[in-house]
Structure 1
Amino acid sequence: MNISKKDALEWFEFLSTVPGNKEEVCEEYKDVIESILRQIDLSMRNHHKNLQSKVTKMDTLKGRTFFVGDKNKFPKGCVSCLFGDGLGGVRKTNKCNLKCKFCYYHDNIDNQEAVPDQMWEIGDTLYYEEDIDFLLDVQKKPSGIAYVYLEPFLEIEKYFTVIEKFKNAGVYQHMYTNGTLGTEEDLKRLGEAGLNEIRFNLGASNCSDKVIEFMRLAKKYIPMVGIETPMTPEFFKSFMEKKDLILSTGLDFINCAELHFGEDNLNNYQGEVMYISRRGYISPVWSREITLELMRMASEENWPIVVHDCSNHTKYSRELNKNSKQNHQFGFHTYYSEFDRILFHLFIPFLQDDRYPFVIEEELSEKYKLENCKDDILELCEEEEEEIYEGFYDYQEEEENI
């Protein structure tokens, strides 16, 4: 079924106004709803291919991701992610000194569960620091790990001995930071401990001069230095104002992360034109557009760095690679939506936008024309609400009996 954009808009506008839980509606009308989501995805895939065609010197890592620039400067942490054992997160610091609009933890950033003193979270499991040597001896060593969640420089002194342990085991290590904290001495100690790569979320500070200079310092002590930040219009504007200064720091790469939404940052972007990729991540259309524009400029102007398209496609590739290493059946993947329900209203701006046409459109059969389905949909929603209330009253009776 290749539903037209006009019919898709009518369907999602109606479904977004229907009250109650829509679980049965989604099951009963799965074909038409899935067709709309697929048409949105196909429309953006076509749009991205058109933008990519304007990027000269486009390179790829076996189709898993795209970049421009010197392949030797491509971040090895990403190679580990896409070809090795996946992104192995090592967690310690549950707080941040900033609160960014795009942060995946935004609405709950002050409520993140702490990692207990003298312990580290590795593989969703807590370990004492003294256990790490034993863990590395017993289990197969990962190709690489990343220090993530949230701002490590709030307690950077806790990281040095752990980094040294992984260095001695021959594990490639990279770290994320917003770069607003820390000293040259911290960078020096990180390099001496064995950190291979550091990534600055330059968008978090709106490309502040202080962070740009901290990046320059980092290159003195840490082999690979780069930027990894969600692509937003605010970042693009500030980056262009300081482009020459940023490129002069000696950094190796920019990972242009395609912003995607979860429960904790979605509210900051209501009303934006969004799409859904492979029935998984939901992103604003402008995020990857900015990436591909930066890649076009980098290629034409011969920037001395790699500009990496860390897109939803790349994250999909990451999940396929990770699952292939875990002995799952052929075709299994874990690239899922951040939401357990379809948020119909999110896609109305996309369906109203003439810049993103559907590639192929066909007329709906009588069975799926909205005017023939409205009464049934409303009836299904009423039945669901009755079931919810009946369950509630049964629960109340049980409580009273107790």
Structure 2
Amino acid sequence: MNISKQDALEWFEFLSELPGNKKDIYNQYSDVIEAIFRQIELSVNKKHKDLQNEIPTLETLKGRTHFVGDKEKFPKGCISCLFGTGLGGIRKTHQCNLTCKFCYYHDNIDNQDKIPNNMWEIGENLYYEEDIELLLSIQQKPSGIAYVYLEPFLEIEKYYGMVKKLADAGIYQHMYTNGTLSTEENLKALADAGLNELRFNLGASNCSDKVIEAMKIAKKYFPMVGIETPMTPEFLETFLKKKDAILETGIDFINCAELHFGEDNINNYTGEKMYMSRRGYISPLWSREITLQLMKMASEERWNLVVHDCSNHTKFSRELNKNSKQGGIFGSNTYYSEFDRILYHLFLPILKDNEFKFLIEEEIEDQYNLENCREDILSMVDSDEDEEMYEEFYFDEEETEE
């Protein structure tokens, strides 16, 4: 169904105004609702493809992701994620010293579950450090692991022992940090313990000079050092001002993460034009466009590093690979939305944008004409069902439309 943009807007405006969780409405009218999401996504994908065609040296890794630059500098942690046994996360630190608008934990940053002293969360279970030998002797050794959630340098001395155990086992390890608490001493100690790759969320500090210097220091000790940060207009503006200093650090890569929204950061982006990728992650239009802009610049200026398009497509490929490695049947996938219901109002800004066009539009079938469906839909509305949850769920829809 190639629904027109005007019909799509009328449908989503109407559905946005209705109370309740609207599950029954979706079940009855999923054809038209899914057609709207496909129309939006197809137009966004076409824009992305056009931008990719402007990048002179664009390459892929077997179609799973895109990059420009020296393939030898492509982050090996991403290779493990896309081709190995997946992204195995080890969690220890439940706090952060910064509050970032784009953070996936933003609204609940102070309410994260604490991991008990002397324990680590691995595979959603708690282990003591001394359990690692037992774990490795029984289960398949992962191709790589990542230290995630939230800022490890708040207690980095606790990480050295775990890093050494896994390094001795021959497991590739990378870590994420905002870099503001790193020093030459703790960077060297972490490298000596055996960490292979360090990734700086440079956007978290708004490209601070201190963190840029820390990246330069880190490159003295770690085999691979890079940037991984969500692509936002704020990051792009500051990055371009400090581009020369950043490139002179000698880092190996920039992972340009396409920002996606969850329940804890969506409130910070009220009114942005959004799309949903493969009925999974919801992202602002500008995020991947910024990535492709940087990739074009890197290609034309021949930056001495890799710029990696860590997009929703890449995340989709990651989940396909993970399911394959875990014995899933052909086609099984775990690339899901962060939300447990469809929030129709999120997509009103893009549908109201006169410059955003659907690729193909056709006259809607009578059975899906909103005027013919309105009375039936209203009969399915239970104004009491989940009303309290609905009212508290994310931002006010009226704010989105202003």
Q: What TM-score comes out, normalization by structure 1 length?
A: 0.95
Structure 1: distance between partners of 2:63 and 2:26? 34
Structure 2 equivalent of residue 397 of structure 1 = none
Structure 2: distance between partners of 1:71 and 1:3? 42
Structure 1 equivalent of residue 248 of structure 2 = 248
Structure 2 equivalent of residue 67 of structure 1 = 67
Structure 2 equivalent of residue 161 of structure 1 = 161
Structure 2 equivalent of residue 225 of structure 1 = 225
SS at match of 2:332: coil
Which region of structure 1 is more displaced relative to structure 2, 372-381 or 352-361?
Answer: 352-361
The residue correspondences of 1:312-391 to structure 2 (distance < 5 A) are: 312-381=312-381, 384-385=382-383
Q: Deviations over 1:87-106 (max 9, x none)?
A: 00001000000010000000
SS at match of 2:2: coil
Q: Deviations over 1:124-165 (max 9, x none)?
A: 110011111221122110000000000000000000011000
Structure 1 equivalent of residue 393 of structure 2 = none
Instruction: Say whether residues 1:199 and 2:169 are aligned partners.
Output: no
CA contact (8 A) 2:20 2:386 kept: no
Structure 1 equivalent of residue 76 of structure 2 = 76
> Which letter maps to 2:78?
C
Instruction: Say whether residues 1:99 and 2:113 are aligned partners.
Output: no
In the alignment of these two chains, the number of paired residues is 387
CA contact (8 A) 1:254 1:307 kept: yes
Structure 1 equivalent of residue 392 of structure 2 = none
Structure 1 equivalent of residue 130 of structure 2 = 130
> Which letter maps to 1:116?
P
Query: Percent identity of the aligned residues?
Result: 71
Structure 1 equivalent of residue 259 of structure 2 = 259
Structure 1: distance between partners of 2:182 and 2:312? 32
Change in CA separation of 1:182 and 1:7 when aligned onto 2, cut-off 3 Å: same
The residue correspondences of 1:290-301 to structure 2 (distance < 5 A) are: 290-301=290-301
CA contact (8 A) 1:51 1:292 kept: yes
Structure 1: distance between partners of 2:383 and 2:58? 53
Instruction: Say whether residues 1:54 and 2:49 are aligned partners.
Output: no
Q: What TM-score comes out, normalization by structure 2 length?
A: 0.95
| Unmatched tracts of structure 2, length 5 or more | 388-402
Q: Deviations over 1:335-377 (max 9, x none)?
A: 0000111100000111112333111111101111111111111
Structure 1 equivalent of residue 89 of structure 2 = 89
Structure 2: distance between partners of 1:205 and 1:386? 44
Structure 2 equivalent of residue 111 of structure 1 = 111
User: Larger radius of gyration, structure 1 or 2?
Assistant: 1
Structure 1 equivalent of residue 397 of structure 2 = none
Structure 2 equivalent of residue 141 of structure 1 = 141
CA contact (8 A) 2:67 2:307 kept: yes
SS at match of 2:145: strand
Structure 2: distance between partners of 1:96 and 1:157? 16
CA contact (8 A) 2:281 2:338 kept: yes
CA contact (8 A) 1:215 1:249 kept: yes
> Which letter maps to 1:20?
G
> Which letter maps to 2:35?
S
Structure 1: distance between partners of 2:55 and 2:70? 15
**Alpha-carbon deviation of 1:182?**
2.4
The residue correspondences of 1:168-187 to structure 2 (distance < 5 A) are: 168-187=168-187
Structure 2 equivalent of residue 394 of structure 1 = none
The residue correspondences of 1:21-60 to structure 2 (distance < 5 A) are: 21-60=21-60
Structure 2: distance between partners of 1:209 and 1:45? 36
Structure 2: distance between partners of 1:68 and 1:337? 29
CA contact (8 A) 1:66 1:309 kept: yes
**Alpha-carbon deviation of 1:387?**
6.9
Change in CA separation of 1:387 and 1:104 when aligned onto 2, cut-off 3 Å: closer
| Unmatched tracts of structure 1, length 5 or more | 390-402
Structure 1: distance between partners of 2:306 and 2:122? 30
Structure 2 equivalent of residue 274 of structure 1 = 274
SS at match of 1:29: helix
Structure 2: distance between partners of 1:59 and 1:140? 32
CA contact (8 A) 1:47 1:356 kept: no
CA contact (8 A) 1:21 1:385 kept: no
Structure 2 equivalent of residue 398 of structure 1 = none
